């Protein structure tokens, strides 16, 4: 089912997401074109019917509306048959009263191999990976976790929102944004790269256009 491009090896930040045709619990998708004009988060899990993965899917579903509010879709993946995915969804609904509304890719192993997420020494189990893809189908963030550690979905939400704000406003985001210990929810103006701009930066700060600790560390409130 998977028609993957010829590039081999783990993708890098800034690469185009590999083109592929995948079987999902919501039908056959062509990625990344299925999400044209949207951000999407593709996240892999080691296997269906496992405890940590079950808690993760519930957590993702409980935040699905927040992701959609950011024009961002979710799509899961593991090396399991689509029948297993469907049965697992049914189990979660029956036992946890949570209906999984986003699709899950049923991978034969080729998609996981293309993305470089087969767990070493653990058969066909995939690493807990997160690929965040923008509206131009570019890989913007990749996160990896061991099997023993569940992901923090609020952090994934945070970074999607932060990258969208960064792109729109041409700014950088401080640590722990929007709760930075020094700047709170303010954003960072990219540092000057020449002497003239550095001097102008400090003058603009004096004029109240933004605030600076120095010419290379200036910040402002989002409008």
Q: Which residues have a catalytic role annotated?
A: 53
What is the number of residues in the chain? 223
- Whether the link from the prior residue into 76 is cis, omega within 30° of 0, is no
Cα–Cα distance measured from residue 164 to residue 168, given in angstroms and rounded to the nearest whole number: 6
- The dihedral of CA 82, 86, 87, 92: what is its sign? positive
- The dihedral of CA 89, 90, 93, 99: what is its sign? positive
DSSP 34: G
Cα–Cα distance measured from residue 149 to residue 61, given in angstroms and rounded to the nearest whole number: 18
Evaluate whether 85 touches 59 at the Cβ level (below 8 Å): no
Nearest in space to 53 (alpha carbons), one of 97, 10, 91, 108: 91
Pairing of the two strands 104-106 and 139-145: unpaired
Cα–Cα distance measured from residue 95 to residue 201, given in angstroms and rounded to the nearest whole number: 58
DSSP 184: B
- Whether the link from the prior residue into 17 is cis, omega within 30° of 0, is no
């Amino acid at each position: 089912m998977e028609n993957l491009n010829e590039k081999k090896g783990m993708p890098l930040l800034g690469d185009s997401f590999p083109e592929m045709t995948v079987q999902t619990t919501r039908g056959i998708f062509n990625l990344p074109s299925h999400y044209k004009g949207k951000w999407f988060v593709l996240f892999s899990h080691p296997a269906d019917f496992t405890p940590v993965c079950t808690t993760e899917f519930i957590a993702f579903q409980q935040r699905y509306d927040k992701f959609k509010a950011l024009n961002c879709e979710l799509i899961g993946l593991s090396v399991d048959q689509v029948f297993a995915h469907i049965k697992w969804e049914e189990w979660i609904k029956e036992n946890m009263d949570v209906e999984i509304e986003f699709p899950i890719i049923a991978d034969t192993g080729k998609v996981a191999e293309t993305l470089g997420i087969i767990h070493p020494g653990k058969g066909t189990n995939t690493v807990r990976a997160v690929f965040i893809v923008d509206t131009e189908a570019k890989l913007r963030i990749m996160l990896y976790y061991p099997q023993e550690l569940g992901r923090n979905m609020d952090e994934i939400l945070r970074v999607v929102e932060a990258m969208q704000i960064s792109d729109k406003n041409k700014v950088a985001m401080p640590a722990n944004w929007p709760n930075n210990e020094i700047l709170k929810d303010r954003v960072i103006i990219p540092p000057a790269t020449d002497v003239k701009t550095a001097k102008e930066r400090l003058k603009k700060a004096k004029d109240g256009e933004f605030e600076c600790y120095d010419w290379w560390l200036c910040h402002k409130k989002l409008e």
